[in-house]
Amino acid sequence: MKAADGSVMDYPSTKEEAWRYTPVDEIVSRLAAAATMPATGTSVSRQVVDALAGDHGGPRLVFVNGVYDADLSDHDNVPAGLWCGLADLSHGRAAANVALAGIDWAVDGFLARNHADGHDSAVVVVDPGVRIDVPVHVVHVSAPDNTGERADSATISHPRTIIDVGSGSRIALIQTYCGLDGRAVTNASTTIRVGRHAEVDHCRVQTESTAATHIGHTRIEQEEGSRLRMISVTIGGDIARNAIDVHLHGPDAQTELVGVNVTTGRQRHDTVVTVDHAASRCASTQRFTGVIDDHGRGSFSGEIIVRPGTVATDAHQSNRNLVLSPNAEADTRPWLQILADDVRCTHGATVGRLDDDALFYLRSRGIPLDEARTMLIGAFIRDVTDAIPHPSLRTHVAAIIAASNGMVATDPERMR
């Protein structure tokens, strides 16, 4: 594949540490076999989008198979100081961000393919000193062709989202990848730039069909004194990779990353996180949780890099995994590169099963086995679901997690 600068980019291999647990060859094969399908003529309606992604108020941009759909979107009443829409070369900051994103993503063949074959790009720009109270929602829907001439081929899309938050601003963002039943391949890229002393709350939710393939990469760049909090939920996809790449460029920047992946059947979910402390007095936290059932496999690779010459670095990482079946598999790999002396870094990882004593206690109180199991799983992932700042999204995600893992209760209050 060719990158934005014209150079040739190879697809990665499992010999590379960051791709160790990802079935790269199978993904490449699916990419080659997939067919591009236009959004027109699909069965996606507003009711379908609401059911798949939820309606959380505020502006909403909806893309179907990588193509913007104005009829499904809502951004007529955009607050002052916020610009959101398609990549518009007539808008100075939007055009500049699209150009920079093309350079940023010269990383591997998947991202090169995204920029070579991507159609419409979602762009969100916040002016300096602006505080946006309502969440901005970017929805990417995959709609496979299950009845037409290409019913045997997976639908492919290359969604791209670019977010630029000006100095001293604050915004809440929801990014949803969802889809109708059927085979689909999503090769997604997201760029988030957080200006000096800006604040961002970002929720990334992936609930595509269990027959889908998802490759996602989020690059976050933070300047001095900025704060970012990201909640990541990975549920859908036969194969799903979620890579988060954070660069702390300015001193006193802070980032908090919280995530959960729920894996069942024969799903394979791979979460890869890198936080690069390139400036002094920066702080980062990683808290990721996995629930793996049946023949599923969940993998987590978390990396902390502390660059030479930095001081007063504070970085923490944890990964907890709950394995519900003897055939399920969890991989966890913390990875630290500490190249400075003045640091405070911790990391930890656990893999375990449901507590038999706790299960017995609940059953001894007359609670049926399935409901007792539900309660314990809900308690295990509560750290993530409770961290979602939007009540409507919190309820929506809790219901999907409950349904995907065969849990009895879909009411999040019963999962507490």
- Would you say how long the chain is, in residues? 416
The highest-confidence range among 5-9, 204-208, 368-372, 380-384, by mean pLDDT, is 204-208
Render pLDDT for 130-170 as a digit per residue (tens, 0 to 9). Answer: 999 899 999 999 988 765 555 567 889 999 999 999 999 99
Q: Which residues contact 373 (CB under 8 A, 6 or more apart)?
A: 354, 359, 407, 408
Predicted confidence at residue 295, as pLDDT, reads 94
CA 185 to CA 101: how far, in whole Å?
22
Residues 261-273 as b/e (b if ≥16 CB within 10 A, e otherwise) read bbbbeebbbbbbb
- Report helix angle 356-364 to 369-385, nearest 10: 120
Q: Which residues contact 189 (CB under 8 A, 6 or more apart)?
A: 101, 105, 111, 114, 115, 118, 158, 159, 160, 161, 216, 217, 218, 219
Render pLDDT for 186-219 as a digit per residue (tens, 0 to 9). Answer: 999 999 999 999 999 999 999 999 999 999 999 9
Q: How confident is the model at residue 361 (pLDDT cuts 50, 70, 90)?
A: confident
- Position with higher pLDDT, 406 vs 194: 194
Render pLDDT for 254-271 as a digit per residue (tens, 0 to 9). Answer: 999 999 999 999 999 999
- Tell me the whole-structure pTM to 2 decimals: 0.90
Predicted confidence at residue 244, as pLDDT, reads 97
Per cent of the chain over pLDDT 70 is 87
Predicted confidence at residue 102, as pLDDT, reads 55
Predicted confidence at residue 92, as pLDDT, reads 57
CA 348 to CA 50: how far, in whole Å?
38
Sign (positive/negative) of CA torsion 58, 64, 65, 66?
negative
Predicted confidence at residue 308, as pLDDT, reads 95
> For residue 166, what are the CA distances in angstroms to 32, 76, 92, 193, 260?
39, 22, 14, 8, 29
- The mean per-residue pLDDT over the stretch 233-256 comes to 96
Q: Among 47-56, 95-104, 338-347, where is mean pLDDT lowest?
A: 95-104
Render pLDDT for 293-310 as a digit per residue (tens, 0 to 9). Answer: 999 999 999 999 999 999
Predicted confidence at residue 4, as pLDDT, reads 46
CA 205 to CA 168: how far, in whole Å?
26
Predicted confidence at residue 128, as pLDDT, reads 95
Tell me: pLDDT of 180 over 50: yes
Predicted confidence at residue 338, as pLDDT, reads 92
Tell me: pLDDT of 174 over 90: yes
Predicted confidence at residue 411, as pLDDT, reads 42
Residue type, 33: A
* Residue 108 bridge partners (DSSP): none
- Position with higher pLDDT, 288 vs 371: 288
- The mean per-residue pLDDT over the stretch 214-232 comes to 96
